Amino acid sequence: MTIVVQDLALGGNGLSVMIKDTLDIAGHPTCAASAALADAPAALAHAQVVKDVLAANCRIIGKTSLHELAFGTTGINQWAGTALNPLYPARIPGGSSSGSAAAVAAGLADFSIGTDTGGSVRIPAACCGVWGLKPTFGRVSRQGVMPAVSSLDCVGPFAADSERLIAAMQAIDPSFKALPAVAHLNIGVVPVQAHPEVQAAVDAALQGSGFALHEQPLPGMAAAYDAGLVVINRETWNACGHLLATGKVGADIAGRLQAAADTSDAALATAEQVRQAFTAQVDAALARFPILAMPTMPDYPLLLSEAADTRAVIGMTAFVRPFNLSGHPALTLPLIGASGLPVGLQLIAAKGADELLCAVARELSRRLAR
């Protein structure tokens, strides 16, 4: 069970950090946990986020494993090894940023960095019982991040608590401002179909928060979920399709990549229309309520024994991928369900309102701890 794929010692004497192996660190190869990239040359320069982390006096102590080529939700990796879910070892660590979530859950780093194209920060954070944030699309630099071109992917942090998550954002986003006060706030609760225990944990947390709650449907979520996969498939094929010729891509990922090659221009054009419509719908909801809330995942994390086929379990991203399509910032904070298993509470804010999102999540967590 692999969490760290490479030990490092870079930077100052501040907070310790681990970096997903899709971000360039000068002098080290970026392999994305794939045998197809095992012989990749060393990166010539740091990714911008790595530069920012080092400028914040943080210590980079390792690169973390992931679902191969960041193209999966479970974190299972037959070549590089599957990261152990430290708090729930029989369960999947989630993907694709599995090692980054597991490193924080295991206490190996103060915070870690992952990427989120269709839930790849929020899903592993929810599975491993930690905090995870997908910032507003474009707010955190993707320079030096694999894939080089993406209309969905966001660099985001994991941490064991809100304070370190905020410190992580301050490190990776030089524009991150002081958090606003949030004593009184209206939250729009998005109705979804989730496991009764998952929904009960989320409902109890929201009701215990003291914030005013109002139902706010998002009827375009299902279409946005489907459209998001169309975009992911086309953009992942563009970035990684050439690796199939090596014969070294894992069978599960190779099958998904080959299927992605068939994504038509017409399907992509339809997906872009859905993107516009759903983005407008979310913007309208956030004009009514500054924060939206729902479960991060529809069910508890799968047992490892149930999660071998990525295509069969991709529905676990039903509540997260739509907000990659729309580009809104989204955060998951950890809860515990009645069965003692991890549940994520997802909060969404307006584009650019990442500070408000963090402030509400921190305040909600503080109120629940009283």
Question: Which residues are identified as catalytic?
Answer: 20, 96, 120
Query: Tokens for 299?
Result: 């069910």
Tell me phi and psi for residue 198, to 5 degrees: -65, -50
Token couple for 275: 């993107």
Decide: 141 and 113 in contact? Cβ < 8 Å. no
Q: What burial letters (b/e) apply to 271-281, b meaning 16+ CB within 10 Å?
A: beebbeebbeb
* SS3 assignment for 192-256: CCCCHHHHHHHHHHHHHCCCEEEECCCCCHHHHHHHHHHHHHHHHHHHHHHHHHHCCCCHHHHHH
Residue 60: alpha-carbon gap to chain centroid: 20
Give the type of residue at 335: L
What's 19's DSSP letter? Answer: E
294: tokens are 């729902």
The DSSP bridge pattern shows strands 59-64 and 16-20 to be: parallel
How many angstroms separate the Cα of 144 from the Cα of each of 23, 155, 157, 221, 250? 6, 11, 16, 31, 24
